[in-house]
Amino acid sequence: MPKTRGRPPNKAGTRAISVTVPQRLYDYLTYLAQTTVLGASESDVAAYILTNKVMEMLHNKFHEMEIPNSTSSGTGKN
């Protein structure tokens, strides 16, 4: 059975976001997508890295405060 690349498809309860990065960072994401199993595309790799880093921050209680559930449109502004 061939080894699959990338992360599994989005599951229920996920939200899409869009980010803009400098060209050098995009080039590195391209390199990672082509040479690793972090993701099949630049967006997949970025989502993998961002998700893992934020989960690590939550686990380590980077911010000692309660994060409210979102009831806004997801713009980050309440």
How much is the pLDDT for 77? 54
Q: What is the pLDDT of residues 48-69, one digit of tens each?
A: 999 999 999 889 888 776 777 7
- Residue 47: which pLDDT band, with cuts at 50, 70 and 90? very high
Q: In whole angstroms, what is the distance from residue 35 CA to residue 45 CA?
A: 11
72-77 contacts: CB < 8 A, separation 24 or more? 74/15, 74/17
Q: What is the pLDDT of residues 9-43, one digit of tens each?
A: 656 788 889 999 999 999 999 999 999 999 999 99
Q: Are 6 and 37 in contact (CB under 8 A)?
A: yes
Q: In whole angstroms, what is the distance from residue 14 CA to residue 34 CA?
A: 25
SS3 state of residue 56: helix
